[in-house]
Amino acid sequence: MDSFFKEKIFDKSFDVLIIGGGITGAGIALDAQSRGLSTCLLEMQDFAQGTSSRSTKLIHGGLRYLKQLNFSLVKEVGKERQILHNNARHLVLPLDVVLPILKDGSLGQTTTKIAMYLYEKLAGVKDEDLYKFIEGGEMLDKYPEIDRERIRSGIQYLEYATNDARLVIEIIKKATELGAAVANYTKVTSFVYYGDGRVHGVKAVNTITNEEKTFYAERVINATGPWVDRLCYTDNMYHEDRLVLTKGVHIVLSSEKLPLHEAFYFDTPDKRMVFVIPKYDKTYIGTTDTFYYKQNIKKPEITQEDAQYLIDAVNNLFDYKLTLDDVESGWAGVRPLIGQQGKKTPSEISRKDEIFTSKSGLISIAGGKLTGYRLMAKKAVDMITKKECVTENLRLSGGEYENDQEIIDNKKQFFTEGIRLGLKNVECEMLFQLYGKNGLGIFEHHYRFPKKHKDYHLPLFVFLALDYSVRYEFVYSIDDFYTRRTDWFYFYIELVKSTLNEAVHYMEDHFHWTKEEKMKQLEVMRELIEKSSKFDLK
């Protein structure tokens, strides 16, 4: 396997080194590099392998935070939705959401209208995107599957859907295009200090090749999400734990079992809020919100209780009679929240972010939301330089469009070329949502070596995505490809099963894997597939 420690990474000292390759670390790397700071980013797993690939996959304004009277957070992240859409139009897509108002629900008709008005004013929602009120009779006509005895009326409003892991990848790709150095599967083992005790870099090991290297930087930022407190202890920073870890679970069902054509956001009998979102030919439900006390942050499990809670929530509102047997796959993630005294349930804890600096100068950032990553990054980099932040209007990799017409024209060009090569419309749609303006680039290697595809018995669209991801998107395992460079593991599990062997064969040839490494890759992925719809019964 190629060494991750390229010469440009360890032959010089950087202005800033970031530990953690989730959405926060990626955002900081892009912000710092775009301000002219030489930047290095290290991630111990794959990029976005933790919390940042396990969200509800929405760029949303935080309507629920009005309940907490957190107006500043609503205003901040509400406006960020439009900024992120402008910077990644292929990846941050408008999504209509229906909010039912129920006779026995926690949302009253008048108070919900007031809340929506306030929410949209704070978020700066454009006139054409303002919410629409739906009378009770119309709700019953449009959505006959809803419990007819309980429905009063409804609200339809705008959110934005995304592929969270790909958002991280596109941010990191943009940072590298600007000159940042990045490495996944690179675990920080200790810090390096000046004589006066200030942190000056890190020692790290490549977890695949076991190479050890030292990375030097003027400033070091700890953006490791759920691991923030642990890294502070490595820095000998004595403090009470700042983080409270909570677990969020999502489950995926076939749209045949849950045939909704619009997303829904509704309150549950225990006064929580749950999303049901159609995607491709699947529908996913989430999220739970429970305290997480286990040590295994890397691999939180979906328990039977988690899945049953979400099934019951949907059955309570819709007439579908879902069971656990209908679950095809799912994901569980650990959220790092800033602890607050007096908050008894996870839902009560604010999603605010916090930055703190140790005596060594190590900057740590924790908390926050996917939607607010750019503002979190700005706050962190503002502590290092007075140069102006430019990310508000910085298009991400694949999202270099100035307006909607540009993306329409580019998409038409992509479809024309894809269909000429033999792709189906649905396959073109899947690939375009992954790559956007970079989409035509997935054909380039195929043009040069048109016969190579025939060496592997893969559908052309899978081969094109795999070939491109391995070459340009830091893929080093089959899980990287199926789970985070695409989202097929969650939403096309049968496709994963049918193409796994040949995809691993391709990677074996590309990386010159040994027979043992090939078998290890297959075993790991087969175990993930086996567990995808099974639940921890402990």
Assess if residue 513 is contained within a domain.
yes
156 shares its domain with 75: yes
420 shares its domain with 376: no
456 shares its domain with 366: no
Model pTM score = 0.94
What pLDDT was estimated at residue 118? 85
Q: What is the pLDDT along the chain (538 residues), one digit of tens a residue?
A: 344 455 556 557 899 999 999 999 999 999 999 999 999 999 999 999 999 999 999 998 767 666 666 777 778 778 899 999 999 999 999 999 999 999 888 778 888 898 888 888 888 888 999 999 999 999 999 999 998 889 999 999 999 999 999 999 999 999 999 999 999 999 999 999 988 999 999 999 999 989 999 999 999 999 999 888 888 877 765 555 577 889 999 999 999 999 999 999 998 888 888 999 999 899 999 999 888 887 788 889 899 999 999 999 999 999 999 999 999 999 999 988 876 555 556 565 555 778 989 899 999 998 888 999 999 999 999 999 999 999 999 999 999 999 999 999 999 999 999 999 999 999 999 999 999 999 999 999 899 888 889 899 999 999 999 999 999 999 999 999 999 999 999 999 999 999 999 999 999 999 999 999 999 999 999 999 988 767 664 3
Assess if residue 255 is contained within a domain.
yes
Q: Are 15 and 39 in contact (CB under 8 A)?
A: yes
What pLDDT was estimated at residue 53? 95
Tell me how far apart the alpha carbons of residues 194 and 190 are, in angstroms, rounded to a whole number. Answer: 14
Q: Which of 339, 366, 381 is the last residue of a domain?
A: 339
Q: How many CB atoms lie within 10 A of CB 320?
A: 16
Tell me how far apart the alpha carbons of residues 511 and 181 are, in angstroms, rounded to a whole number. Answer: 21
Number of domains in the chain: 3
Assess if residue 292 is contained within a domain.
yes
Assess if residue 344 is contained within a domain.
no
Tell me how far apart the alpha carbons of residues 417 and 104 are, in angstroms, rounded to a whole number. Answer: 53
What pLDDT was estimated at residue 506? 97
Q: Is 449 exposed, middle or buried (0-12, 13-18, 19+ CB in 10 A)?
A: exposed
197 shares its domain with 259: no
Q: Are 411 and 431 in contact (CB under 8 A)?
A: no
Question: What CATH number does the domain containing 307 carry?
Answer: 3.30.9.10
Return the ∠ at Cα 461 (arms to 441 and 487), rounded to 5°. 95
What pLDDT was estimated at residue 299? 86
429 shares its domain with 456: yes
* SS3 of residue 439 by DSSP: helix
* SS3 of residue 11 by DSSP: coil
Neighbouring residues of 429: CB distance < 8 A, sequence distance ≥ 6: none
Assess if residue 59 is contained within a domain.
no
115 shares its domain with 221: no
128 shares its domain with 218: no
DSSP codes, 310-378 = HHHHHHHHBS----GGGEEEEEEEEEEEE--TT--SGGGS---EEEEE-TT--EEEEE--STTHHHHHH
Q: Are 79 and 126 in contact (CB under 8 A)?
A: no
Q: How many CB atoms lie within 10 A of CB 276?
A: 23
Q: Are 251 and 205 in contact (CB under 8 A)?
A: no
146 shares its domain with 74: yes
Exposure letters 188-226 (e unless 16+ CB within 10 A, then b)? beebeeeeeeebbbbebbbeeeeeebebebbbbbbbbbb
Q: Is 293 exposed, middle or buried (0-12, 13-18, 19+ CB in 10 A)?
A: exposed
Assess if residue 57 is contained within a domain.
no
Query: Which structural domain range is residue 252 located in?
Result: 64-162+244-339
Return the ∠ at Cα 50 (arms to 261 and 537), rounded to 5°. 75
Q: Which of 393, 427, 460 is the last residue of a domain?
A: 393
138 shares its domain with 21: no
330 shares its domain with 355: no
Tell me how far apart the alpha carbons of residues 346 and 350 are, in angstroms, rounded to a whole number. Answer: 9
Question: What CATH number does the domain containing 42 carry?
Answer: 3.50.50.60
What pLDDT was estimated at residue 367? 84
Assess if residue 520 is contained within a domain.
yes
205 shares its domain with 331: no
296 shares its domain with 185: no
Return the ∠ at Cα 432 (arms to 426 and 438), rounded to 5°. 155
Assess if residue 374 is contained within a domain.
yes
Q: Are 199 and 220 in contact (CB under 8 A)?
A: yes
Tell me how far apart the alpha carbons of residues 132 and 429 are, in angstroms, rounded to a whole number. Answer: 29
Q: Are 168 and 25 in contact (CB under 8 A)?
A: no
DSSP codes, 204-272 = EEETTT--EEEEEEEEEEE--GGGHHHHHHHTT------EEEEEEEEEEEETTTS--SSEEEEE-TTS-
* SS3 of residue 12 by DSSP: coil
Q: Which two tokens stand for residue 333?
A: 């993630």
Question: What CATH number does the domain containing 434 carry?
Answer: 1.10.8.870
| Nearest-10 Cα torsion for 369, 372, 378, 379 | -50
Tell me how far apart the alpha carbons of residues 263 and 278 are, in angstroms, rounded to a whole number. Answer: 6
